[in-house]
Structure 1
Amino acid sequence: MAIPIGINILVAIAVFVIGKWIARKITDIIVVLLNKVKGMDETLVRFLENIIYYILMMVVVLTALSKLGVETTSFFAILGAAGLAIGLALKDSLGNFASGVMLIMFKPFKLGDFVTVAGVSGTVKEISIFSSVIITGDNQKMIVPNGAITSGTIVNVNANPTRRVDLLVGIGYDDDIKKTKDVLTNILESDDRIIHNKGLTVAVSELADSSVNFVVRAWVNTPDYWAVKFDLTEQVKLRFDKEGISIPYPQQDVHHHNQA
């Protein structure tokens, strides 16, 4: 009776040792292939490496137990039930994990990009498996779950090398439209940060209730966007004051009548 039991134990040990070696080799091969994928994140590779290895080891352990005569069907049933329970309990975390994998693989944004995601605007500081860290303009650290990011609209300000600056400028109905267009065009042409070969737009867009509105559009390199927008706004006010062009603003006249 001892001989068959001893043989089964030796076979189980052999299955475990050889299976562990095979599991490690398979995992290493998969890791090598993952590392060859362009843009694959190191954090994701390490996470997948651990998952793959432990799944393979689970198969090895169950196979070794079966060589000892242990009924493994019940183990699979228990593991299945446990996996279902864990999945239900961690469904939000698993959703964030899946979203993190998508962010790392498809890269809608990268570290250093200025984005608006899940109602938060700021610079991307970190992209991890379950959440991303956004640093706002006033230096607040916002930790945003990846599920919230992928379930909404992602605005990546730095995705393209150039951006268009749009201004809406209003003048009074008594002001000279042609003169105003010349002044606005001169302001744009005087700024070296503006990409002139992409075209400039200065046009009347609306005859509003109290003003004639102009659209002013120019293309700039993305890093220069806010500086150019602020400077153009300031220059418009300064030049309009110098040229005697009015900028209407809401006013209300109150008439008081004395009645005897």
Structure 2
Amino acid sequence: MHDFLDNLLGQALSASVIHAGLNLLFALLILLVGTWVAARMANFSRRALQRANVDDTLSGFLRNVIYGVLVAMLIVMALTRAGVPSAPLVAALGAGGLAIGLALQGSLSNLAWGVLLVIFRPFRVGDFVTAGGLDGTVQSINLMHTLLLLPDGREAVVPNGKVGGDAIVNHNRRGTRRFELKLGIGYKDDIGAAMAEIRRLFAADARILKDPAPGVWTVGLGENVVDLVIRAWTSSADSWDVQTDLLRAIREHFEAAGISLPAPRRELVITHGDVSDAAPRQP
């Protein structure tokens, strides 16, 4: 075969063809074997991340990133082996990556925040949070968006870039919550008796935590009421029910004890006759 090519193409050209063929063969071999090795390495990295209790979504994403980087390196190595200059190839890949990054900067921002949310876990599925300006229960978290179930039953798909770019409030991460109620009693009522009634209601409700201790304080003197504020801690699940039951109990016990809860009052002055005649004229 070698003699045939020498006779057909000449010795120099024959050597060039054989050299190019060998380089192409080695390039294909690099791609085939390298792709197989890259897949094994990427799968191994994913199993290692899963053993380290990394989230499945993040471990799958990192596995694909590792595989993509390795394949890109293999392509550069194979083309270089085939005789393609590496410098222009690397420059072209860099320019292409920059163009793709600029075109997808919004999506890449969501992706980056998705990775950070999965790593740092400011909330988990089932938590009630304020995120991206919305209040809702977390239904799912993926690398591009977070799904919230709003209190009225609607679903909100919030981009992770918006979630991470704003304050995140987790309402039940710690398992307990403090609530605050404000009410007013009349000036003729006994403040001490009213506060004692509220403290008895604290002791009677087992859902109100003793530590931190609940309390009631006088915080202001209004137009026709003395302002009281009530603060108490409950479990996150009982918060709304305890507030509702406590307000109803306060209303019933205050009524039985003769303590008033006055409503706001306004005075209305009605003038009969011609207002223009009654009003003094301005010079």
Number of matched residues?
Answer: 259
Question: Structure 1 residues 168, 31: closer, same or farther in 2, change over 3 A?
Answer: same
Percent of aligned positions that are identical: 37
Q: Counterpart of 2:233 in 1: which secondary structure?
A: strand
More relative contact order, 1 or 2 (CA 8 Å, 6+ apart): 1
CA distance in 2, matches of 1:252, 1:192: 40
* Structure 2 unaligned regions, length at least 5: 1-13, 275-283
- Of 110-119 and 198-207, deviating more is 198-207
1:13 and 2:28 aligned: yes
Q: Counterpart of 1:69 in 2: which secondary structure?
A: coil
CA distance in 1, matches of 2:160, 2:224: 47
CA distance in 1, matches of 2:61, 2:273: 85
Match of 1:254 among 268, 274, 283: 268
Larger radius of gyration: 2
Match of 2:126 among 112, 119, 123: 112
1:34 and 2:77 aligned: no
RMSD of aligned residue pairs (Cα, Å):
1.7
Tell me the CA shift for residue 197 of structure 1: 4.1
Tell me the CA shift for residue 242 of structure 1: 2.2
Aligned to 2:236: 222
Aligned to 1:88: 102
Q: Which amino acid aligns with 2:117?
A: L
Question: Structure 1 residues 7, 245: closer, same or farther in 2, change over 3 A?
Answer: same
CA distance in 2, matches of 1:200, 1:109: 28
CA distance in 1, matches of 2:69, 2:268: 80
String of CA shifts for 1:92-140, please: whole Å, max 9, x gaps. Answer: 1100100000110000000000001111101000101111000001110
Q: Which amino acid aligns with 1:64?
A: A
Tell me the CA shift for residue 202 of structure 1: 1.8
1:123 and 2:132 aligned: no
CA distance in 2, matches of 1:127, 1:244: 53
Aligned to 2:159: 145
Q: Counterpart of 1:14 in 2: which secondary structure?
A: helix
String of CA shifts for 1:197-246, please: whole Å, max 9, x gaps. Answer: 43121221222332111121222111111110111112212222222211
Tell me the CA shift for residue 78 of structure 1: 1.7
Aligned to 1:69: 83
Q: Counterpart of 1:139 in 2: which secondary structure?
A: coil
Aligned to 2:112: 98
Match of 1:52 among 60, 66, 91: 66
String of CA shifts for 1:137-180, please: whole Å, max 9, x gaps. Answer: 11101010111111111010111121112111210111111111
Aligned to 2:207: 193
TM score, norm. by length of structure 1: 0.93
CA distance in 1, matches of 2:180, 2:134: 23
CA distance in 1, matches of 2:128, 2:19: 68
Match of 1:206 among 202, 220, 225: 220
Tell me the CA shift for residue 259 of structure 1: 6.4
CA distance in 1, matches of 2:237, 2:95: 53
Q: Counterpart of 2:157 in 1: which secondary structure?
A: strand
CA distance in 2, matches of 1:193, 1:95: 43
